[in-house]
Amino acid sequence: MMRACGMDFGTSNSAMALPDLQGGVTLAPCEGNHGTLPTALFFAAAGGAPLVGRAAQKLFFEGEEGRFMRSLKRLLGTSLMTQATVVNGKPRYFDTIIADFMKYLRTRAEVAAGAPLDAVMIGRPVHFVDDDNAADQSAEAQLAAVARQAGFTHVQFQFEPIAAAFAHERRVAREKLALVVDIGGGTSDFTLIKICADYSAKPDRKDDILASHGIRTGGNDFDKQLSLAAFMPLLGYRGTYGEKNLAVPLAPFHDMSEWSKINFLYTPQQRREMALILREAHEPEKLSRFTKVLEHENGHKLLAAVEETKITLTAQTATAAPLTFIESGLTAQVSREDFDRAIGGNMADILAAMDDCLQSAQTDAANIDTVILTGGPTETPLLQDAIRARFPRADISEDERMASVALGLGHDAHRVFK
């Protein structure tokens, strides 16, 4: 008998869902009693199997020597997936690294299921890569190959916002027109779908799905823009050097502000280049902070401080982020207005993509009965305000914000593989 599960392999967090024979779905405990875990790995310098999730984060941020990785999903469909990176002195390809993470998820789910799992329904964004069908198809093929490396024999995919709708509709007694707004770490996806508890047993739902659209913009992009606006200027970003007032290169600061690119900065060549610029920097006290981050490989700590600031600003209007791991007494003073300005371009792109989804279905906001919000970045006050202003008559559902995609994938796994 085929045993199936749903896998939400996310840019920031991941989860596994297990269907039962009666059509119910539960999250598999992935880490202790937690149903979700951060999509992170840590390869300790001492060797051994990589740690994942919270354990990986804890060891790295406590200062253990080794290689920390996050946001690996964003590499899918890019040239980096075919490149090797050095882990503890040995080259490792990213497909095997992601497979390590998936093997952990599969093992934990099998323990919860009490049986081997050979079939998986994996969530995917509407577009892994914007405006590039070949890269998008390549990303899905890469993810399928990784899932097979992790031990799954049967692999299928479902759009993440559609999965979120499947999880929600079982509580809906009569047909409603729902807009799913799924903002993850790497993408923003939208689906317009007719939902109803009675529809969940349909073998084919394509007639209920009116439109889907998405862009490669998400919470990690919020982190990047906040980093560049409020943190990197303290480290010499947009500074100048030399007699000719040359601009300090921007690329290293941009890479230091992206989870998936930080590790590529830790090279002798990059350290040498920044050290040479520092000698002629017009604000050496600032640029020296950046060179310290490079030297001590503290980029992930810095971006974690940025992310924590973003999260804090969902509930507070201002905060002071401590950066004492760079320099004693150093803090970044950031207000919610600063954050809103920093992500203004990202937010405009997200709202435009949402409008495109409605236009594809030839409908407008007045016809939407329910807006289903899923993904941590949907807590952002600027987005919350925009959604409520655009859909004043719609119910706003935020149930299972962090787990709805995984639960919906579990339901779909039961439907497809039973």
Pair 209, 177: CB distance under 8 Å: no
Owner of token pair 């892994």: 128
- 26: CB partners within 8 A, 6+ apart: 17, 18, 20, 112, 410
The pair phi, psi for residue 122, each rounded to 5°, is: -105, 135
Closest by CA position to 206, among listed 188, 189, 194, 197: 194
How far apart, in Å, are the Cα atoms of 381 and each of 228, 320, 386?
20, 19, 8
Closest CA to 60 of 303, 357, 362: 303
The tokens describing 35, both together, are 């149903």
Both tokens of 263, joined, read: 């590790």
Best CA proximity match to 182, nearest among 362, 10, 309: 10
The number of helix segments (H) and strand segments (E) in the chain equals 13, 20
375 torsion bin: left (phi>0), alpha (psi -120 to 50), beta (else): left
Domain boundaries, the chain: 4-173+400-417, 220-342
Specify the pLDDT at position 1.
Answer: 54
Which three-class secondary structure state does DSSP give residue 276? Answer: helix
Q: Is 109 helix (H, G, I), strand (E, B) or coil?
A: helix
Long-range CB contacts (within 8 A, 24+) of 349-355 = 349/188, 349/215, 349/217, 350/183, 350/188, 350/215, 350/217, 350/383, 351/386, 351/390, 353/188, 353/190, 353/213, 353/214, 353/215, 353/217, 354/179, 354/181, 354/188, 354/190, 354/213, 354/390
> Is the Cβ–Cβ distance between 9 and 413 less than 8 Å?
no
Q: E strand or H helix at 157, and its extent? A: strand 154-159
Gap between the Cα atoms of 72 and 63, Å rounded: 22
Tell me which DSSP letter residue 58 carries. H
Burial of 310 (0-12, 13-18, 19+ CB in 10 A): buried
Measured CA to CA, the distance from residue 185 to residue 220 in angstroms comes to 5
Question: CB neighbours of 67 closer than 8 A, spacing ≥ 6?
Answer: 42, 43, 45, 87, 88, 263
Fold of 4-173+400-417: Nucleotidyltransferase; domain 5 (3.30.420)
Q: Which of 255, 263, 257 is nearest to 87 (CA)?
A: 263
Determine phi and psi for 380, rounding to 5 degrees.
-55, 120
| Separation of alpha carbons 79 and 96, rounded Å | 15
Give the pLDDT of the chain (418 residues) as one tens digit per residue.
Answer: 569 999 999 999 999 999 987 778 999 999 999 999 999 999 998 888 899 999 999 998 888 889 999 999 999 998 888 888 888 888 899 999 999 999 999 999 999 999 999 999 999 999 998 888 999 999 999 999 999 999 999 999 999 999 999 999 988 999 999 999 999 999 999 999 999 999 988 888 889 999 999 999 999 999 999 999 999 999 999 999 999 999 999 999 999 999 989 988 999 999 999 999 999 999 999 999 999 999 999 999 999 999 999 999 999 999 999 999 999 999 999 999 999 999 999 999 999 999 999 999 999 999 999 999 999 999 999 999 999 999 999 999 988 888 999 999 999 999 899 7
CA 91 to each of CA 17, 151, 259, 265: distance values in angstroms, whole numbers, following the listed order: 33, 22, 20, 16
| 205, 199 contact by CB (below 8 A) | yes
Report helix angle 299-312 to 53-61, nearest 10: 120
**Edge-to-edge strand order for the sheet containing 40-44?**
51-52, 40-44, 66-70
